[in-house]
Amino acid sequence: MEQKANTFLETERLGKLMVKYAVPCVISLLVAALYNIVDQIFIANADYLGSYGNAANTVVFPLTVVALSIAVMIGDGCCAFVSISLGRNGKEAAHKSIGSAVLLCIVSGLIMTVIYLVLQEPILTLFGGQVNVETFRHAKEYFFWITLGVPFYMFGQALNPIIRSDGSPKFAMASTLAGAAANIILDPVFIFVFRWGMMGAAAATVLGQIMTAVLAVRYLCHMKAVRLERSSFRFHGSLAEKYLPLGICSFLSQISLVMAMAAIQNMTLKYSAVDPIFGQTQYMQIPMAVLGIVMKFFQIVISISVGLAAGCIPVVGYNIGAGRKDRAKSLFTRLLAAETIVGAVALLIVELFPRQLIGIFGAANESVYYTEYAVKCFRVYLCMMVLATVNKGTFIYLQSLGRAFASTAISMVREVLFGVGFALLLPRWFGLDGVLYSMPVSDMLTSVICVIVIRYTYKALDCGEKRKPEHE
């Protein structure tokens, strides 16, 4: 009988495996998040762009998340399916699913690019781009160049979890780091030296994304646990039906975030217009710009949360496939503890150091209203970070167990029913402040559901649990 691949996932210490897989995944996601954040930092500190450029970046950001949502659906779903297949010694299904996922990602990236280029202005308007003329002009310029990099961005993001499932989390991390390093180096050159403005910020980002995609292609040619063949690179519909549902939670988690962003940004635009301060022409872009900054910090924290959980997917999937529920249960406990710590640290930062955070994004060049509103946003909008990280980690863990429906349903409740619903309702009673209340209220209600899910998951993993060997 042929030897199973990646057997170390069943035998190695869980703490070591969590560090080996989760840490590189966290770093990869953080670096991916930094693409847009770095752009915003340099844009904010360019005196000829300022808060108008910041607001434009906020408008475009959700549209990059749409592309990301499709990429992670393909990549995370394929990652989970490949891990479970290898745990069952199903190498044939593994290599065919990877090849199919690669083709699907390329085609999806090209389609997204065409749609974005054709529907540029109505899409930007949908996400609040018409806050004022100057913001809309910057948004169009930034969006056009970012759109040209969408196929490369999607390819790199989709291949990242697939590379991890092949037992190479460090390479996945390194490829993302290389692209981000290029972006960080080129951003100040293009923005401050060449003074290319929003085009320069976008060009630096796209070149970094191209570098990551090229490295991913290189890895495909030298995979370890899975050997790709010419026959792999076909669209295998029967396999796609199996791996895409496993990634649907990742998709909906991202796409519902876009829906929430659209609701939040449009309500911010609507209620800032009647605000005594932000209703003035010279200050109209401030709430949108500030909100984008706060959401970027939230993205950093959630990237850590998602990275911890997503890094566990290959380990949990393999052990479930091998019948080792005891190890899956133990890893769940470790994950919940780690998510709690991440949320607690983030909460302390936003409550104690909001002025320092906003200072990174060029607050010195802005009015006092900019800083005051930013401090308020950080302290109110993100006051339930502990609940947010634990909730997110729990949802993603369910994916690794193959429970796509449960994970999807809970994510939709959080992001759409609560996230979008409260973003639309609360401003009716609390005005602009109501937008800020929507996040903590949503996380509090979601945590009630999350507690029930956690208890059920533990009971399910107890069923048929194997006795742990002494070294574990």
What pLDDT, on a 0 to 100 scale, did the predictor assign at position 212? 93
Distance from chain centroid for Cα 339: 16
First to last CA, the chain: 27
The average pLDDT across 282-309 equals 86
The per-residue pLDDT for range 334-374, each reduced to its tens digit, is: 999 999 999 999 999 999 999 888 888 766 566 788 889 99
Q: Which residues contact 352 (CB under 8 A, 6 or more apart)?
A: none
Q: How far apart are CA 165 and CA 151, in angstroms?
A: 22
Answer whether 310's CB lies under 8 Å from 25's CB: yes
Which of helix, strand or coil describes residue 225?
Answer: coil
Could you tell me which residue, 470 or 88, shows the higher pLDDT?
88
| CB environment 24-49: b (16+ within 10 A), e (fewer) | bbbbbbbbbbbbbbbbbbbbbbbeeb
> Looking at per-residue confidence, does 389 or 54 come out higher?
389
Q: Does residue 118 surpass a pLDDT of 90? A: yes
User: What are the boundaries of each domain within the chain?
Assistant: 28-462
The model's confidence at residue 472, banded by pLDDT at 50, 70 and 90, is: very low
pLDDT at 397: 87
Closest CA to 160 of 62, 297, 21, 255: 21
Looking at residue 189, its pLDDT comes to 96
What pLDDT band is residue 470 in, cutting at 50, 70 and 90? very low
Show the 3-state SS of 374-431.
HHHHHHHHCCCHHHHHHHHHHHHHHHHCCCHHHHHHHHHHHHHHHHHHHHHHHHHHHC
**Taking 90 as the threshold, does the pLDDT of residue 406 lie above it?**
no
Can you tell me the distance from the alpha carbon of 455 to that of 452, in angstroms, rounded to the nearest whole number?
5
pLDDT at 123: 92
Looking at residue 6, its amino acid is N
* Predicted pLDDT of residue 124: 92
Query: Given this model, what pLDDT does residue 29 score?
Result: 73
Q: Which residue has the tokens 């939040």?
A: 264
pLDDT over 90, % of the chain: 36
pLDDT band for position 204 (50/70/90)? very high
341: CB partners within 8 A, 6+ apart: none
Burial class (CB in 10 A: 0-12, 13-18, 19+), 454: middle
Note the pTM of the prediction, 2 decimals: 0.77
Q: What is the percent of the chain where pLDDT is above 70?
A: 94
Residue 376: per-residue pLDDT: 94
